[in-house]
């Protein structure tokens, strides 16, 4: 009796699967066509010179894939990679706001720009092409004046940290 019950239940399951899988469409309607390999959506492709975000960051600025942080300090981050300096500069240009941009023969400088993650932290970023096909060097400096001087002028705040308002060191022998 158990053998007969198993045979009947297996036949019922097979029959139910056939009914579900082989249903007919009403007259005038057809099944939706299945996508073929030629009509499949092509994957996204990067444009020439376009860079993706990488895992490393300098303050709130995500660095492009291929640029790795070499050294990181409280007020400056140094990074390097085997990418074209112009491509790296374009990548950064698309991700910062404000400030001024100076494009030179061997370097692009972003002066007092802001990364979207930290809109109150001014950054100065230098993207430099290294000689002899060694790639690109990126220097990101935090230009935030020190706290605790609310009534001081910008010049006084810069002088308190030993720098001039344009970012030059006043006395290299008295660095903190």
User: Which pair of tokens denotes residue 168?
Assistant: 């030059």
**Mean pLDDT score, 146-168:** 77
- What is the per-residue DSSP string for 47-88? PTT---EEEEEETTEEEETTEEEEEE-SSEEEEEESS-HHHH
pLDDT in tens, 49-96: 678 888 999 999 999 999 999 999 999 999 999 999 999 999 999 999
Question: Under DSSP, is residue 109 helix (H, G, I), strand (E, B) or coil?
Answer: strand
Q: What pLDDT is recorded for position 64?
A: 96
């Amino acid at each position: 009796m158990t053998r007969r019950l198993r045979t009947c239940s297996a036949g019922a399951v097979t029959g139910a699967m056939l009914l579900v899988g082989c249903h007919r469409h009403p007259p005038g309607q057809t099944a939706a066509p299945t996508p073929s390999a030629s009509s499949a959506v092509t994957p996204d492709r990067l444009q020439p010179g376009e860079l993706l975000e990488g895992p490393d960051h300098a303050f709130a600025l995500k660095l492009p894939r291929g640029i790795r942080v070499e050294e990181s300090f409280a007020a400056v981050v140094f990074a390097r990679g085997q990418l074209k300096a112009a491509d790296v500069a374009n990548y950064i240009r698309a991700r910062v706001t404000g400030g001024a941009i100076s494009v030179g023969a061997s370097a692009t400088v972003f002066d007092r720009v802001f990364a979207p993650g930290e809109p109150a932290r001014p950054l100065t970023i230098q993207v430099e092409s290294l000689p002899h096909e060694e790639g690109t060097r990126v220097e990101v400096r935090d230009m935030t004046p020190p706290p605790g001087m609310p009534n001081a002028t910008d010049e006084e705040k810069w002088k308190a940290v030993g720098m001039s308002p344009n970012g030059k060191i006043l006395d290299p022998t008295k660095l903190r």
